Structure 1
Amino acid sequence: MHRDLTRFPAELFQFDPRIRDGWLSDRYFVRAAATLRHSRRNPNVTMQVFPRRGGMVAGLYECVRMLQTQLATGYDYRDLEVWTLRDGDRIEPWDIAFRISGPYIAIAHLETIIDGVLARRSRIATNVSNAVAAAGDVPVIYFAPRHDDWRIQTPDGYAARVGGGQSVSSDAGAAWWGGEGVGTMPHALIAAFGGDVVAATLAFTRYVRDHEPEIPVISLVDFGNDCVNDSMAVARAMRAEFGEDALHGVRLDTSGLLVDKSLVGDEDLWGREDLRGVNPHLVRMVRAALDA
């Protein structure tokens, strides 16, 4: 078995005890096993899991631990022969990622769950790996929890890590490798300071210096839809209170429905390109202003 598996004990995955009873399985698999018991049949079978599209696989270690702990009552992992790729391996369409051989009744109820785990983890790992490749040297942070059910933050965060994401936004997302969530200022903090991005950034900096000094200060500068001027105001205030290099960076998150004030009068660009939201022209203007 892969040495990497030692970093992922079964307890880490907190498997639902109802897995073994088939409560989380497609019902026809449970009935198939029941039919075989009723017929006093239990053939040895081989189950192979493969993708229809290429990408990166993840969730394999989780599935191995599932086989080790969630087989039907009366069966043991030693009753099986298991072959698997490793989390993070690339795979081509129709190639085998996971192969299990053994008594069908032992594994019938796990087909649904194994397929689901591998499908979701691999999809996220593949998507993140594509984003990492496109980003080049720019670190990729996985900020997906707000877009999905809170109960899948931990496995999704792990899959993003497999895909090459440098970090995730919540502590739950980093739980399987013992990390912590990252991130600095939300729009809500600025709103709590009456829309004053400078006051919010200074207050945030005072907090992290006292309690989390390892956190870099990255100011969110689009709240007033004036990224250039607010970036400059934040940079000046930070330098005045905390000295050079206190501000690690600024973040632009302009709504896709809005055009930043710095671009409103640029008639040469209007009509030729979409200037709404965050776009290359806005990024270059902010960069030029801060570099000046």
Structure 2
Amino acid sequence: MARPRKQRLDPSIFHLPADKMREGYYSDKYFVRARDLLRRARHRPRVTMQVFGKSHAYLGGIDEAIAILKLCAESWDELVVHALYDGEEIQPWETVLLIEGPYDAFAVLETLYLGVLARRTRVGTNTRLVVQAAKPKEVMFFPARHDHWLVQTGDGYAAHIAGAIGVSTDAQASWWGSEGVRALGDQLYGVRLDTSETLVDRSVIPQMGTFRPTGVNPQLVWNVRRALDAEGFTHVKIVVSGGFTVEKIRNFEEQAVPVDVYGVGSSLFQGRFDFTADVVMLEGKPRAKVGRSYRPNPRLERVE
């Protein structure tokens, strides 16, 4: 077998509650009942499960999904799994994960692996879009306070894969062995502008009239840059945050606003990037919903 193109994360890094997942505690109940019915009947049909999204996106959560299958399926050795890699660009309806094996061995895991794919792909795709809008400027991942703390580890990794240069918490950086960026170091090397969207900085009041003056706006950044330069602090960088989206970053870049780094938060949680899993083969024969037949994807790689 050809050598894998990339290294995948080790399943142990995810700290999964494997026993609870395997029993179906976090799964939609109908999957649990389907598995139990098959077991009582001692019927183990071998299926091919095809997983795909419906949007153009940048894939996230695939290593986490694989870990769920490895650690929580009845027996990994019974499964044959092919998958793409985290961070890869995907097209609508493209197969990102293919699972072959006895259905009862992994039936209850569908809720789980679809959920992590949806969550991490949303964060990763939104991060990639702001990184592209800001390029060559750098982007920091700052949404920790806008969601439950338990999502930090996977969200941070999704943002890292998507191109964010830093995350704000140690948990977000834990999957690749790093730590959160420090807003305050041993010496001042940057200024962060984070004016509320409901306030007007006093420095822009004399110039009001032709632009929206609230929050972090281009005029405010220019005022700070000129003030720093006038005092000899040309080496001090400017980091902006607070309400930044792809559109706002593009607007700043089109105006050549002297920003050095963008900090982006809650906008990275917006949108929907749902995934679907369909049985497309039963005992090696086509058995799919109308319009959802087996779609081979040469980009998939066998997971060992």
Q: What TM-score range do you get, normalising by the shorter chain?
A: 0.7 to 0.9
User: Which has the greater radius of gyration?
Assistant: 1
Relative CO higher for 1 or 2, CA cutoff 8 Å, sep ≥ 6? 2
SS in 2 for 1:47: strand
- Deviation string 1:236-262 (CA, Å, 9 cap, x unpaired) is xxxxxxxxxxx3121111111111111
Q: Distance in 2 between matches of 1:86 and 1:60?
A: 6
Q: Which residue does the alignment assign to 1:10?
A: 11
User: Which residue number in structure 1 is paired with residue 214 of structure 2?
Assistant: 276
State the distance in 1 between where 2:4 and 2:146 align: 33
Cα distance in 1, alignment partners of residues 20 and 5 from structure 2:
29
Tell me the amino acid that sits aligned with residue 111 of structure 2.
T
More strand by share: 2
Residue 206 (structure 2) aligns with: 265
On the 8 A contact 1:2/1:86 being kept in 2, the answer is no
Q: Where does the alignment leave 5 or more consecutive residues of structure 2 unmatched?
A: 231-304
Deviation (angstroms), 1:3? 5.7
How far the C-alpha of 1:128 sits from its partner, in A, is: 0.4
- Residue 250 of structure 1 is matched in structure 2 by 191
Share of identical aligned residues, percent?
Answer: 45
Per-residue CA deviation, residues 114-173 of structure 1 (Å, 9 max, x unaligned), is 000111111111000001001112211111110110111111111111111111000010
Which runs of structure 2 are paired with 1:89-104 in the superposition (5 Å)? 89-104=88-103
Q: Which amino acid aligns with 1:252?
A: L
Q: Does residue 20 of structure 2 align to residue 82 of structure 1?
A: no
Higher-helix-fraction structure: 1
CA contact (8 A) 1:22 1:109 kept: yes
Three-state SS of the structure 2 residue aligned to 1:256 is coil
Q: 1 CA distance for matches of 2:106 and 2:152?
A: 27
Residue number in structure 2 paired with 1:285:
223
Alignment of 1:210-229 (within 5 A): 217=187
Contact preservation (8 Å) 1:24, 1:113: yes
The question of whether the paired residues in 2 share the 8 Å contact of 1:58 and 1:118 is answered with yes
Residue 66 of structure 1 aligns with an amino acid whose one-letter code is: I
In the superposition, the TM-score normalised over structure 1's length comes to 0.74
TM-score after normalising by structure 2: 0.72
Q: Which residue of 1 aligns with 2:62?
A: 60
Confirm or deny that 1:136 pairs with 2:74: no
Structure 1 residues 177-192: aligned runs within 5 Å: 177-185=176-184
Aligned-partner Cα distance in 1 for 2:193–2:166: 19
Q: How many residues align?
A: 227
CA offset digits 1:49-85 (Å, max 9, x no partner):
111111100111122222121113xxx2221111100
Residues 5, 61 of structure 1: 8 Å contact kept: no
- 1:40 deviation in Å? 2.7
Question: What pairs up with 1:36-75 in 2 under 5 angstroms?
Answer: 36-72=38-74
For structure 1, the residue ranges without an aligned partner over 5 or more in a row are: 186-207, 210-216, 218-246
Paired with 1:157 and 1:97, the residues of 2 have a C-alpha distance of 21
Distance 1:62 1:100, change over 3 A: same
Moved over 6 A (4+): none
1:15 is aligned with what amino acid?
A: L
Matched, 1:166 2:165: yes
The change in CA–CA distance for 1:2 and 1:22 in structure 2 (over 3 A counts) is farther
Q: CA deviation at 1:289?
A: 1.6
Quote how far apart the aligned CAs of 1:265 are.
Answer: 2.4
1:273 positional shift = 1.9
Q: How much is the aligned-residue C-alpha RMSD, in angstroms? A: 1.5
**Residue identity in the other structure for 2:51:** V
